[in-house]
Amino acid sequence: MTSILIQNARLIDPEAARETRGWLLIRDGRIAGLSGEEAPPGADERIDARGRCLAPGIVDWGVKIGEPGERHKESFRSAGRAAAAGGVTTLITRPDTLPPLDTPEALDFVRRRAGEAGGVRIHPMAALTKGCEGREMTEIGFLRDAGAVAFTDAFRVTADARVLSRALTYARGLGALAVLHPQEPGLSRGAAATGGKFATLKGLPAVSPMAERMGLDRDVALVEMTGARVHFDQITTARALPALERAKSNGFDVTAGVSVHHLTLNELDVGDYRTFFKLTPPLRSEEDRLSVVEALRTGLIDLLCSMHTPQDEESKRLPFEEAAPGAVGLETLLPAALRLYHAGALDLPALFRALALNPARRLGLEAGTLRAGAPADLVLFDPDAPFRLDRWTMQSKSKNTPYDGALLQGRVLGTWVGGRRIHGEA
């Protein structure tokens, strides 16, 4: 048994909703104890945190890795390095690969390749319908047995309500979690911006925020009909929040997430037609952004993620409406999210409740907490350290970040998975 004592740290405990000064002891890969009292003697290794923050490692939901099919955009190895550098200890990966992860054999490939991820934990989601095409549901039971933690078609909406209702009914019978993307597909098809005066001025094809509300209303009705467990991956508009609140108040087993880009950027950022700001769904108005930040603060929206979507240079060096959507976010998730902390919108325990505790709880993972006995998946960071992001220094193979050149605050100093340091000085 080996032991590591991290002392003189600001302990960020999202489960207890508190921040304390003290120490944390790691023994045999797990948290053996923590306290604000005098540190225990006899540890094999001692680390002085020098007053920096120690928190549970981030559980990032909705990460796309390019294997199979698009290894040139992101591999398990490069994603693992990027995650470690960003304080992300667990990746919840998407199935919208080439081909999609819709068979047990495909999941077995992911499990084998995940060993290259440099110690980061990887839990794959599988496709909800075959090929993510919305026509026929996958073998959810076999895929669950093969290790799928949830089922989703990612950004592709199943337009056929009958197909989706059957998949949700089957998932409910197995206790499986379905992850849905709330959009009305007919309205949102081909959109590159959010509808309004700004999109009209810029001449961009746009979609009304009501498309998200309409998609959510339909999906909530299907949840009511089937009794399924459902997570909505992206709630980004004020119009959708009342429907989400009604679903929760009615006792439906639903949760919701949002990407850090939609909490820290708005539609005006696409003014220069820079394609790194083209996302799915498109960036929203400032009023929407503020409403969603408040929903995250109150817990109406449960979790915050990067929706890491690597795209190569060729797919981004196109006219705005033709460019591929998406942005990388594994390395920028924490410093971008700390903008909310520095703005006074969320304190650090609340921020890590959304980044680590809630996603782990929703998926039944043993992560996201500083409780004694939990795996020692940890991130040590300085929330006030400023730096200017240079995308070419990032670990991801793709460099499509909207924060390129931006001044950010919050440097990751160390990342541990199971008590083993995978980033920072040994």
Task: Decide if pLDDT at 116 tops 90.
Answer: no
pLDDT band, residue 43 (cuts 50/70/90):
confident
Each residue of 213-255: pLDDT tens digit?
999 999 999 999 999 999 999 999 999 999 999 999 999 999 9
Instruction: Indicate if 327 and 414 belong to the same structural domain.
Output: no
Instruction: Indicate if 338 and 264 belong to the same structural domain.
Output: yes
Tell me what pLDDT residue 135 has. 96
Coil vs helix vs strand at 249: helix
pLDDT band, residue 118 (cuts 50/70/90):
confident
Q: Are 90 and 84 in contact (CB under 8 A)?
A: no
Tell me what pLDDT residue 211 has. 97
> In what helix (H) or strand (E) does residue 382 lie, and over which residues does it extend?
strand 378-388
Residue 405's beta-bridge partner residues? none
For residue 165, the tally of other CB atoms under 10 A from its CB is: 17
Among 14, 15, 34, CA closest to 26: 34
The CATH number given to whatever domain includes residue 385 is 2.30.40.10
For the sheet with 177-180, list strands across it: 151-152, 177-180, 229-232, 254-259, 303-305
Instruction: Indicate if 141 and 219 belong to the same structural domain.
Output: yes
Each residue of 199-218: pLDDT tens digit?
999 999 999 999 999 999 99
Tell me what pLDDT residue 37 has. 63
Instruction: Indicate if 381 and 289 belong to the same structural domain.
Output: no
Q: Using the 8-state DSSP alphabet, how is residue 38 labeled?
A: P
For residue 334, the tally of other CB atoms under 10 A from its CB is: 28
Q: How much is the average pLDDT of 170-181?
A: 97
Among 288, 410, 286, CA closest to 339: 410
Tell me what pLDDT residue 426 has. 55
Tokens of 288: 């929407």
Instruction: Indicate if 312 and 292 belong to the same structural domain.
Output: yes
Higher pLDDT pick, 115 / 139: 139
Angle of helix 161-174 relative to helix 210-226, nearest 10 degrees? 50
Structural domain includes residue 371? no
Each residue of 358-392: pLDDT tens digit?
999 999 999 999 999 999 999 999 999 999 999 99
- Mean pLDDT value across the chain: 95
Tell me what pLDDT residue 39 has. 67
Among 272, 261, 276, CA closest to 313: 276
Quote the percentage of the chain above a pLDDT of 70.
99
Q: What is the dihedral of CA 129, 131, 134, 136, to 10 degrees?
A: -60
Integer Cα distance of 56 and 38 in angstroms: 22
Concatenate the DSSP letters of all residues of 45-99 into one string: EEEE-TT-EEEEPEEEEEE---TTT-TTT--HHHHHHHHHHTTEEEEEE-S-SSS
Structural domain includes residue 235? yes
Among 382, 379, 385, 380, CA closest to 409: 385
Integer Cα distance of 321 and 361 in angstroms: 38
The CATH number given to whatever domain includes residue 175 is 3.20.20.140
Instruction: Indicate if 114 and 204 belong to the same structural domain.
Output: yes
Between the alpha carbon of residue 332 and those of residues 85, 109, 127, 182, 327, the distances in Å are 9, 28, 27, 25, 10
pLDDT band, residue 115 (cuts 50/70/90):
confident
Each residue of 279-300: pLDDT tens digit?
999 999 999 999 999 999 999 9
Instruction: Give the residue numbers spanning the domain of 202.
Output: 56-363
Tokens of 297: 């603060």
Tokens of 53: 């923050």
Integer Cα distance of 148 and 126 in angstroms: 6
Structural domain includes residue 368? no
Tell me what pLDDT residue 1 has. 60
Count: domains in the chain: 2
Each residue of 178-206: pLDDT tens digit?
999 999 999 999 999 999 999 999 999 99
Integer Cα distance of 353 and 31 in angstroms: 18
pLDDT band, residue 72 (cuts 50/70/90):
very high
Integer Cα distance of 258 and 182 in angstroms: 12
